[in-house]
Amino acid sequence: MKINIAIDGPSAAGKSTIAKKLAEKLGYVHLDTGAMYRCTALKAVRSGIALDDEASVCAMLEDTDIRLLSTGEVFMDGEDVSQAIRTDENSLAASAVSKLPKVREELVRRQQKMAEEKGYIMDGRDIGTVVLKDAEVKIFMTASPEARAERRYKQNIEKGIPTSDIATIAEEIRQRDYEDTHRAASPLKKADDATEIDTSYMTIEEVCSAIYALAEPFLNREA
């Protein structure tokens, strides 16, 4: 039978990378919810809208089409913004708009609609606690700020994305962690029934194997 897998955790913990690998292995669709907030932030900045102006950001969203392809590309209003949304500056902007309750409400509505048919791996900050409370498997993935900064730095270099040095990225990650865990709307936290995995010293293959082992009992059940 098909199930839904929720992967939560702080910025740069490797959630999207793991989710993509698992989706390929299972033939599932990966939904990177963080990309939706990143798109919202990017369009708000481009439109000259203040990131704390909830009414204006929500009005903008009404005319914003966000598409997440199974191949990993992210399109906003027909434009491929896969790289544009991944800059360090846009990451912080995404954290700002994610604090807005009505923005979260709208994007959560879209996410829940997407996952209704099962067979989805969704990653973000509040998947197991808000978006997919009934997901069969819930993972809380974390890693030290230093390990995450090194990964983000290497990823930016590989993709040709302008980047700060590792120490600066680590400090930005700590700031993002604080903001994500202290916001009023759906703060980042581990769901009571989630399994925590610290990926600081694990390979991608090791993390995928650990999650697959948790999912296997559900996958083998008859529909």
Print pLDDT tens along the chain (223 aa): 899 999 999 988 989 899 999 999 998 989 888 899 999 999 999 999 999 999 999 999 999 999 988 777 899 999 999 999 998 889 889 989 988 999 999 999 999 998 998 999 999 888 999 999 999 999 999 999 999 999 889 888 888 888 889 999 999 999 989 988 888 877 889 999 999 999 999 999 999 999 999 999 999 886 5
Strand partners, 74: 68
Nearest to 173 by CA among 71, 90, 61, 88: 88
Asked if 88 and 169 count as a contact pair (C-beta separation under 8 A), the reply is yes
For the question of whether the overall pTM of this predicted structure is more than 0.85, the answer is no
> What is the rounded distance in angstroms from the CA atom of residue 205 to the CA atom of residue 21?
9
Q: Are strands 66-68 and 74-76 parallel, antiparallel or unpaired?
A: antiparallel
> What is the rounded distance in angstroms from the CA atom of residue 185 to the CA atom of residue 189?
12
Report, in this order, helix, strand and coil percent for the chain, each rounded to 5. 50, 15, 35
